Amino acid sequence: MPNLFDMSGKTVLVTGGSRGLGRGIVRGFAEAGANVAIVSRKLENCQAVARETEALGVKAYAYGCHVGHWDEIEPMFEAVWNHFGRVHVVVNNAGMSPTYDKLSSVSEKLFDSVIGVNFKGPFRLCALAGERMYEAGGGAIINMSSLSALGSSPHTAFYGGAKAGLNTIGRACATAFHPKVRVNTVVVGPFNTDVSKYWSDPPASPNDRQTQGGLRVGLPQDMVSTMLYLASDASQYVTGAEIKVDGGGWGVGLTADQDAVS
Protein backbone atom coordinates (compact mmCIF):
# COMPACT_ATOMS: atom_id res chain seq x y z
CA MET A 1 0.00 0.00 0.00
CA PRO A 2 1.13 3.59 -0.56
CA ASN A 3 2.17 5.61 2.48
CA LEU A 4 -1.07 7.48 3.08
CA PHE A 5 0.54 9.55 5.82
CA ASP A 6 3.34 10.93 3.63
CA MET A 7 3.08 14.73 3.69
CA SER A 8 5.99 15.43 1.33
CA GLY A 9 5.35 18.48 -0.81
CA LYS A 10 2.46 19.66 1.38
CA THR A 11 2.32 22.90 3.33
CA VAL A 12 0.79 22.97 6.81
CA LEU A 13 -0.10 26.13 8.75
CA VAL A 14 -0.23 25.68 12.52
CA THR A 15 -1.49 28.46 14.80
CA GLY A 16 -0.17 28.38 18.34
CA GLY A 17 2.72 26.47 16.81
CA SER A 18 5.58 27.88 18.84
CA ARG A 19 5.05 25.93 22.07
CA GLY A 20 3.27 23.10 23.79
CA LEU A 21 1.01 20.88 21.76
CA GLY A 22 1.37 23.09 18.70
CA ARG A 23 5.12 22.71 18.71
CA GLY A 24 4.74 18.93 18.85
CA ILE A 25 2.30 19.04 15.95
CA VAL A 26 4.74 21.13 13.89
CA ARG A 27 7.48 18.60 14.49
CA GLY A 28 5.20 15.68 13.63
CA PHE A 29 4.26 17.18 10.28
CA ALA A 30 7.87 18.07 9.51
CA GLU A 31 8.99 14.51 10.24
CA ALA A 32 6.31 13.34 7.80
CA GLY A 33 7.85 15.56 5.11
CA ALA A 34 5.62 18.64 5.21
CA ASN A 35 6.75 22.24 4.98
CA VAL A 36 5.33 24.13 7.96
CA ALA A 37 4.25 27.67 8.79
CA ILE A 38 4.54 28.40 12.51
CA VAL A 39 2.17 31.12 13.67
CA SER A 40 1.79 32.63 17.14
CA ARG A 41 1.79 36.01 18.83
CA LYS A 42 5.55 36.20 19.47
CA LEU A 43 7.53 36.17 16.24
CA GLU A 44 10.84 35.36 17.92
CA ASN A 45 9.38 32.16 19.38
CA CYS A 46 8.07 31.18 15.94
CA GLN A 47 11.49 31.83 14.44
CA ALA A 48 13.16 29.57 16.99
CA VAL A 49 10.80 26.71 16.18
CA ALA A 50 11.25 27.39 12.46
CA ARG A 51 15.00 26.87 12.84
CA GLU A 52 14.41 23.59 14.67
CA THR A 53 11.99 22.52 11.96
CA GLU A 54 14.32 23.30 9.06
CA ALA A 55 16.97 21.14 10.73
CA LEU A 56 14.65 18.21 9.94
CA GLY A 57 15.13 18.84 6.22
CA VAL A 58 11.93 20.72 5.36
CA LYS A 59 11.06 24.38 4.82
CA ALA A 60 9.61 26.47 7.63
CA TYR A 61 8.13 29.95 7.82
CA ALA A 62 7.60 32.00 10.98
CA TYR A 63 4.85 34.59 11.28
CA GLY A 64 3.74 36.65 14.27
CA CYS A 65 -0.05 36.98 14.54
CA HIS A 66 -2.58 37.38 17.33
CA VAL A 67 -5.38 35.10 16.15
CA GLY A 68 -7.87 36.89 18.39
CA HIS A 69 -7.48 40.01 16.23
CA TRP A 70 -9.78 39.71 13.21
CA ASP A 71 -7.82 42.08 10.97
CA GLU A 72 -4.57 40.12 11.42
CA ILE A 73 -5.94 36.81 10.13
CA GLU A 74 -6.21 37.54 6.41
CA PRO A 75 -2.75 39.18 6.04
CA MET A 76 -1.24 36.21 7.90
CA PHE A 77 -2.91 33.62 5.70
CA GLU A 78 -2.03 35.50 2.52
CA ALA A 79 1.60 35.80 3.62
CA VAL A 80 1.87 32.06 4.25
CA TRP A 81 0.09 31.21 0.98
CA ASN A 82 2.33 33.53 -1.02
CA HIS A 83 5.49 32.29 0.71
CA PHE A 84 4.86 28.63 -0.14
CA GLY A 85 2.61 29.09 -3.17
CA ARG A 86 -0.15 27.01 -1.56
CA VAL A 87 -1.51 25.90 1.80
CA HIS A 88 -2.80 22.33 1.97
CA VAL A 89 -3.60 22.02 5.68
CA VAL A 90 -4.60 24.49 8.39
CA VAL A 91 -4.48 23.55 12.07
CA ASN A 92 -6.48 25.92 14.27
CA ASN A 93 -4.53 25.13 17.43
CA ALA A 94 -4.08 28.48 19.21
CA GLY A 95 -6.07 28.69 22.41
CA MET A 96 -6.22 30.14 25.90
CA SER A 97 -8.00 29.12 29.10
CA PRO A 98 -7.10 31.55 31.92
CA THR A 99 -8.20 30.90 35.48
CA TYR A 100 -10.49 33.13 37.55
CA ASP A 101 -11.87 33.08 41.09
CA LYS A 102 -15.58 33.03 40.32
CA LEU A 103 -17.90 33.71 37.41
CA SER A 104 -18.83 37.21 38.62
CA SER A 105 -15.15 38.22 38.72
CA VAL A 106 -14.69 37.67 34.97
CA SER A 107 -14.03 40.97 33.23
CA GLU A 108 -15.35 41.87 29.81
CA LYS A 109 -11.76 42.12 28.58
CA LEU A 110 -10.97 38.58 29.72
CA PHE A 111 -14.22 37.25 28.27
CA ASP A 112 -13.58 38.91 24.92
CA SER A 113 -9.97 37.65 24.82
CA VAL A 114 -11.02 34.04 25.38
CA ILE A 115 -13.80 34.24 22.80
CA GLY A 116 -11.47 35.97 20.34
CA VAL A 117 -8.68 33.40 20.47
CA ASN A 118 -10.82 30.27 20.78
CA PHE A 119 -13.80 31.15 18.58
CA LYS A 120 -13.62 34.37 16.57
CA GLY A 121 -10.13 33.89 15.15
CA PRO A 122 -10.59 30.23 14.23
CA PHE A 123 -13.88 31.09 12.50
CA ARG A 124 -12.20 33.76 10.40
CA LEU A 125 -9.30 31.49 9.48
CA CYS A 126 -11.66 28.62 8.63
CA ALA A 127 -13.68 30.90 6.36
CA LEU A 128 -10.69 32.34 4.53
CA ALA A 129 -8.65 29.16 4.28
CA GLY A 130 -11.59 26.97 3.34
CA GLU A 131 -12.63 29.25 0.50
CA ARG A 132 -9.09 29.67 -0.83
CA MET A 133 -8.28 25.96 -0.66
CA TYR A 134 -11.60 25.07 -2.29
CA GLU A 135 -10.75 27.32 -5.23
CA ALA A 136 -7.28 25.75 -5.42
CA GLY A 137 -8.67 22.22 -5.59
CA GLY A 138 -8.82 20.99 -2.00
CA GLY A 139 -7.28 20.82 1.44
CA ALA A 140 -7.94 20.04 5.08
CA ILE A 141 -8.72 22.09 8.17
CA ILE A 142 -8.29 20.69 11.68
CA ASN A 143 -9.79 22.57 14.61
CA MET A 144 -8.49 21.86 18.11
CA SER A 145 -11.34 21.82 20.60
CA SER A 146 -11.52 20.65 24.21
CA LEU A 147 -13.38 18.27 26.50
CA SER A 148 -14.81 21.42 28.08
CA ALA A 149 -16.91 21.86 24.96
CA LEU A 150 -18.78 18.71 25.92
CA GLY A 151 -19.48 19.60 29.53
CA SER A 152 -17.90 22.74 30.91
CA SER A 153 -17.30 23.29 34.62
CA PRO A 154 -17.77 26.69 36.33
CA HIS A 155 -14.01 27.17 35.99
CA THR A 156 -14.14 26.77 32.20
CA ALA A 157 -17.59 28.19 31.51
CA PHE A 158 -17.03 30.63 28.67
CA TYR A 159 -13.91 28.84 27.43
CA GLY A 160 -16.04 25.71 27.09
CA GLY A 161 -18.69 27.77 25.34
CA ALA A 162 -16.12 29.08 22.87
CA LYS A 163 -14.87 25.56 22.15
CA ALA A 164 -18.43 24.29 21.74
CA GLY A 165 -18.87 27.06 19.18
CA LEU A 166 -15.68 25.88 17.49
CA ASN A 167 -17.23 22.40 17.19
CA THR A 168 -20.20 24.00 15.43
CA ILE A 169 -17.89 25.95 13.13
CA GLY A 170 -16.24 22.70 12.10
CA ARG A 171 -19.51 21.07 11.11
CA ALA A 172 -20.73 24.18 9.30
CA CYS A 173 -17.51 24.65 7.34
CA ALA A 174 -17.40 20.96 6.47
CA THR A 175 -20.75 21.48 4.77
CA ALA A 176 -19.79 24.80 3.20
CA PHE A 177 -16.60 23.51 1.59
CA HIS A 178 -17.69 19.97 0.78
CA PRO A 179 -16.44 17.97 -1.06
CA LYS A 180 -13.06 19.56 -1.78
CA VAL A 181 -12.03 20.72 1.70
CA ARG A 182 -12.35 18.42 4.69
CA VAL A 183 -12.96 20.11 8.07
CA ASN A 184 -12.64 18.05 11.24
CA THR A 185 -12.34 18.75 14.95
CA VAL A 186 -10.10 17.15 17.56
CA VAL A 187 -11.51 17.21 21.10
CA VAL A 188 -8.39 17.45 23.24
CA GLY A 189 -7.87 16.18 26.75
CA PRO A 190 -5.04 17.06 29.17
CA PHE A 191 -1.53 16.93 27.71
CA ASN A 192 1.79 17.22 29.48
CA THR A 193 3.20 20.36 27.86
CA ASP A 194 4.83 23.51 29.20
CA VAL A 195 1.54 24.62 30.81
CA SER A 196 1.16 21.49 32.91
CA LYS A 197 3.63 22.80 35.47
CA TYR A 198 0.89 25.20 36.56
CA TRP A 199 -1.54 22.39 37.40
CA SER A 200 -2.32 21.68 41.04
CA ASP A 201 -1.32 18.06 40.33
CA PRO A 202 1.36 18.24 37.61
CA PRO A 203 3.38 15.37 36.15
CA ALA A 204 6.75 14.94 37.84
CA SER A 205 8.71 15.44 34.59
CA PRO A 206 8.08 16.55 30.98
CA ASN A 207 8.01 12.95 29.72
CA ASP A 208 5.60 11.52 32.29
CA ARG A 209 2.30 10.17 31.02
CA GLN A 210 0.51 10.67 34.32
CA THR A 211 0.18 13.30 37.03
CA GLN A 212 1.80 12.72 40.38
CA GLY A 213 -1.66 11.72 41.60
CA GLY A 214 -1.85 9.01 38.95
CA LEU A 215 -4.21 10.56 36.37
CA ARG A 216 -3.29 9.69 32.79
CA VAL A 217 -2.18 12.51 30.46
CA GLY A 218 -0.84 12.64 26.93
CA LEU A 219 2.45 13.77 25.47
CA PRO A 220 2.59 15.99 22.34
CA GLN A 221 3.75 13.08 20.19
CA ASP A 222 0.55 11.23 21.11
CA MET A 223 -1.36 13.74 19.01
CA VAL A 224 0.72 13.35 15.84
CA SER A 225 -0.90 10.22 14.40
CA THR A 226 -4.38 11.74 14.67
CA MET A 227 -3.19 14.94 12.99
CA LEU A 228 -1.55 13.03 10.15
CA TYR A 229 -4.68 10.95 9.67
CA LEU A 230 -6.94 14.00 9.41
CA ALA A 231 -4.50 15.95 7.23
CA SER A 232 -3.64 13.21 4.76
CA ASP A 233 -5.33 11.03 2.16
CA ALA A 234 -5.87 8.43 4.87
CA SER A 235 -9.04 10.34 5.87
CA GLN A 236 -10.21 11.38 2.42
CA TYR A 237 -13.80 10.29 3.25
CA VAL A 238 -13.89 11.91 6.72
CA THR A 239 -15.25 15.41 7.22
CA GLY A 240 -17.40 17.14 9.83
CA ALA A 241 -16.17 14.67 12.45
CA GLU A 242 -15.25 15.27 16.08
CA ILE A 243 -12.55 12.94 17.40
CA LYS A 244 -11.65 12.73 21.10
CA VAL A 245 -7.97 12.40 21.92
CA ASP A 246 -8.01 12.31 25.71
CA GLY A 247 -6.75 8.94 26.89
CA GLY A 248 -10.16 8.13 28.39
CA GLY A 249 -11.23 8.33 31.99
CA TRP A 250 -11.60 12.10 32.18
CA GLY A 251 -15.33 12.48 31.67
CA VAL A 252 -16.32 15.79 30.12
CA GLY A 253 -15.54 18.29 32.89
CA LEU A 254 -11.99 19.39 33.62
CA THR A 255 -10.76 21.57 36.44
CA ALA A 256 -9.47 24.98 35.48
CA ASP A 257 -5.82 24.00 35.66
CA GLN A 258 -6.18 20.66 33.86
CA ASP A 259 -7.87 21.91 30.74
CA ALA A 260 -6.00 21.66 27.46
CA VAL A 261 -4.16 24.83 26.52
CA SER A 262 -1.94 24.77 23.47
Cα separation, 148 vs 171, whole angstroms: 18
3-state secondary structure of 185: strand
The question of whether 100 is a catalytic residue gets the answer: no
The question of whether 232 is a catalytic residue gets the answer: no
66 in the Ramachandran plot: left (φ > 0), alpha (ψ -120 to 50) or beta?
beta
The question of whether 145 is a catalytic residue gets the answer: no
Q: Are 23 and 133 in contact (CB under 8 A)?
A: no
C-alpha angle with apex 120: 180 to 104, nearest 5 degrees? 145
The active-site residue out of 18, 40, 146, 262 is 146
Q: How many CB atoms lie within 10 A of CB 179?
A: 11
Note the Cα 172 to chain centre separation in Å: 18
The active-site residue out of 163, 196, 232, 235 is 163
The active-site residue out of 18, 148, 159, 235 is 159
* Residue numbers annotated as active site: 146, 159, 163
